[in-house]
Structure 1
Amino acid sequence: MKIEKTNAVRLLDKEKVKYELIPYEVDESDLSAIHVAEQLGEDVNQVFKTLVLKGDKTGYFVCIIPGAEELNLKAAAKISGNKNCEMIPMKDLLGITGYIRGACSPIGMKKLFPTYIDKSCKKFSLIYISAGRRGLQIQINPDDLVKIIGINIEDLI
């Protein structure tokens, strides 16, 4: 099966980063990372979701957290240099990132935003992130992900 390359995959290829593309069955009624982990047969703590936020001082930024977890908004605001922050409205996601809900990759967004990943990623030699298309995940070493886009490792949950 030929898999069409996404912006995220092209960027990884360009930087010669080792990764594996993992397809999964999409359920349009359940785009959660929990469902993705079930489809992959993987620990939900290893399947990370990409959240886009807007801070009151710095503007847009990205947080990457384990699939079943909730983002600590106070921690995210503080870490990103904001007093307050909130998730962007879903309708704005495509225009800001170039990705749609259920397919937002932290790699290859329209613009490189400040990005933070939860420190729990260090527990794993491989994690999963969206490849930029529903039905496709990238399996990658978290250290490589951190290097490729200059991610800060923080306590986000």
Structure 2
Amino acid sequence: MKKAKTNAARILDRLKLPYDLLEYEVDPDDLVAGSTAAKLGLPPAQVFKTLVVRGDRQGICFAVVPGDSHLNLKALAQLTGDRKVEPVTLKEVQPLTGYIRGGVTALGSKKDYPVYGDQSLGGFDRVAVSAGKRGLMLWLAPADYVQATGAILGAIALSGFPRS
């Protein structure tokens, strides 16, 4: 059975950048990157999640961080030139990007928002990022992802998860 192409995959095709599509079983009640990594048999640090963030000066952007980390809001604000950044509310994600939670990607969004990735992206030969659909990931070289998204890399991830 042939895997359906997403807008993100078509963008990579148009740019002639190599990638593979990785499929996994979706549990709508468990969309965390760590679970996705386990289903793919990959370390969580190699499966990147794409977050939608709003800065007080620069507006909306994507933040791409490893699945075993959380976003360092202060570091992202410094990288973007904002005084303060905050994740957008879940109800804003689809209207802003065209994607639903668990399927957000910086490729093929409704609008070309700036992309900021954690510097750890460069530590792997290949990484997994959302293909724009739940249950489907792009498996590609970090340099190709950076080229396709125009991502700016910096130290924007903190290991572990925040305590609630």
Aligned to 2:57: 57
Q: CA deviation at 1:148?
A: 1.1
2:43 pairs with 1:32:
no
What percent identity do the matched residue pairs reach? 43
Q: Does 1:118 align with 2:114?
A: no
Q: What per-residue deviation string (whole Å, max 9, x for no partner) do you get for residues 101-123 of structure 1?
A: 00001111111111111011111
Residue number in structure 2 paired with 1:100? 100
Q: CA deviation at 1:3?
A: 1.7
- 1:86 is displaced (CA, Å) by 0.3
Deviation at 1:14, TM superposition (A): 0.9
Distance 2:125 2:4 in 1: 26
Counterparts of 1:48 and 1:6, CA distance in 2: 18
Whole-Å Cα distance in 2 between the matches of residues 149 and 28 of structure 1?
A: 27
Cα RMSD after superposing both structures: 0.7
Q: Distance in 1 between matches of 2:4 and 2:94?
A: 19
Deviation at 1:6, TM superposition (A): 1.0
- The alpha-carbon deviation at position 23 of structure 1 amounts to 0.3
> How many residues end up aligned between the 2 structures?
157
* CA distance, structure 2, for counterparts of residue 118 and residue 7 of structure 1: 23
- The CA deviation at 1:141 is 0.2
Gaps of 5+ in 1: none
Runs (5+) with no aligned partner, structure 2:
158-164
Tell me which stretches of 4 or more aligned residues in structure 1 moved more than 6 Å. none
Please list, as runs of the form range in 1=range in 2, the aligned pairs for 1:2-151 lying within 5 A after superposition. Answer: 2-151=2-151
Equivalents in 2 of 1:121, 1:150: separation in Å? 14
Letter in 1 for 2:4: E
Q: Distance in 2 between matches of 1:11 and 1:122?
A: 21
3-state secondary structure, aligned to 1:70:
strand
Aligned-partner Cα distance in 2 for 1:52–1:28: 19
Opposite residue 129 of structure 1, the aligned amino acid is: V
